């Protein structure tokens, strides 16, 4: 399954957050969300986000709903 890789390394994988910022990646190896404080290895975060994007696409195809992926939105401004 092809998933767009953009933002996957800058997006907070916390479902309640989803903050997207370059500042979340202060080092190459570590992801730390500036919004909620979520911390994990950058590679792990990328994998989680790719997985979630893949499931979101799958859910879209199954349900037929036109739900955009979390990447590219600024949900944190709404969820704060």
Q: Does 17 bind Zn ion (CB under 5 A)?
A: yes
C-beta of 66: minimal distance to Zn ion in Å?
25
Q: Which two tokens stand for residue 19?
A: 């903050």
Nearest to 40 by CA among 27, 54, 53: 27
Query: How much is the CA Rg of the chain, to the nearest whole Å?
Result: 12
DSSP 78: H
Among residues 7, 10, 12, 69, the one that binds Zn ion under rule CB under 5 A: 12
Residues between 30 and 59 with contacts to Zn ion, criterion CB under 5 A: 33, 35-36, 38
Summarize as ranges the residues that interact with Zn ion (CB under 5 A).
12, 14, 17, 19, 33, 35-36, 38
């Amino acid at each position: 399954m092809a998933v767009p890789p953009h933002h996957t390394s800058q997006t907070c994988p916390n479902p309640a957050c989803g903050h997207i910022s370059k500042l979340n990646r202060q080092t190459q190896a570590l992801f730390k969300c500036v919004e909620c404080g979520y911390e994990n290895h950058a590679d792990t975060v990328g994998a989680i986000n790719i997985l979630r994007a893949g499931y979101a696409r799958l859910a879209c195809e199954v349900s037929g709903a036109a739900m955009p992926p979390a990447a590219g939105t600024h949900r944190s401004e709404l969820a704060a």
